[in-house]
Structure 1
Amino acid sequence: MSTWDETPGPDFGPDYESGDRPPPLSIDERAGVLDDLAELEVFRTLLEPTGVKGIVVDCPDCDEEHHVDWALMQANLRQLLDEGQTGRHEPPFDPDPDDYVSWDYASGYADGVSAAAERDEPSGPASSGRHALD
């Protein structure tokens, strides 16, 4: 018997040393990721001071929610821009679900803050339906 275990280890994703990298993102996909990065920064600026630690994401691979802190979410999006996909990351240990919000919640919160700021602005335009990035 060998001192080296011959059983395969965990799957850490595809091995790109062989040159079979994923195709680059299209221009529209890149624009979408850049928009997500900009939105994420708005969300973090507004929500982090209230104690929110990040975003909760429904994972289609394992059918579970993943609690992703702000910095890791930003890193994932940047990796998606650079490499065309995100790597696998270890979830936080025993996260408190109350410390994380969905993307939709964060977007709605940002829209609400924006609407309130417009309403309170003395000479602001009376428009509605603006998004966090507007």
Structure 2
Amino acid sequence: MSTWDDATGPDFGPADRPGPPPLTMEERAGVLDDLAELEVFRTLLEPTGIKGIVVDCPDCDEEHHVDWALMQANLRQLLDEGQTGRHEPPFDPNPDDYVSWDYASGYADGIAAAAEHEADTEPRGRHARDD
């Protein structure tokens, strides 16, 4: 018998290690809002060639380029498990293909404001009482 025979779990730690605490209702609501926003961002930006979101990682002080599907999976995992796992970043991503969350949010706000302005300035049909 070797020391490997007693190993448990993916990192050979105790199998009964407690997981993260569950998300609070406010945290869950925030993640659900992020999922909804992400879908809007993807709908607006993917047709322009943007592949996903760039995230500043506080653990390694580097930018991580996360495609739309992986970002969605990370948020869903956060809802389900209270944490996200580590994922392999894309190989040699082109930074021009990714935008920050703030950029995506501003872009979506700009599109919404332009649509609202367009709706406000469209000529409206005449009403019989206008005569």
Shared fold per TM-score greater than 0.5: yes
User: Helix, strand or coil for the counterpart of 2:15?
Assistant: helix
TM-score, scaled relative to structure 2: 0.81
**Post-superposition shift, 1:17?**
3.2
Task: Find the counterpart in structure 2 of residue 78 from structure 1.
Answer: 76
Question: Larger Cα Rg: Structure 1 or Structure 2?
Answer: 2
Task: Give the AA of the match of 2:16.
Answer: S
Task: Find the counterpart in structure 2 of residue 91 from structure 1.
Answer: 89
**Post-superposition shift, 1:53?**
0.1
TM-score, scaled relative to structure 1: 0.79
**Post-superposition shift, 1:13?**
7.1
1:49-107 alpha-carbon deviations (Å, 9 max, x no partner): 00000000000000000000000000000000000000000000000000000000000
Count how many residue pairs are aligned between Structure 1 and Structure 2: 115
Q: Percent identity?
A: 78
Q: 1-side partners of 2:43 and 2:14: how far apart? A: 36
Matched, 1:22 2:4: no
Moved >6 Å (runs of 4+): none
Give the alignment partner of residue 118 of structure 1, picking from 102, 108, 116: 116
Q: 2-side partners of 1:109 and 1:34: how far apart? A: 20
**Post-superposition shift, 1:34?**
0.2
Give the RMSD, CA atoms, in angstroms: 2.2
**Post-superposition shift, 1:14?**
9.3
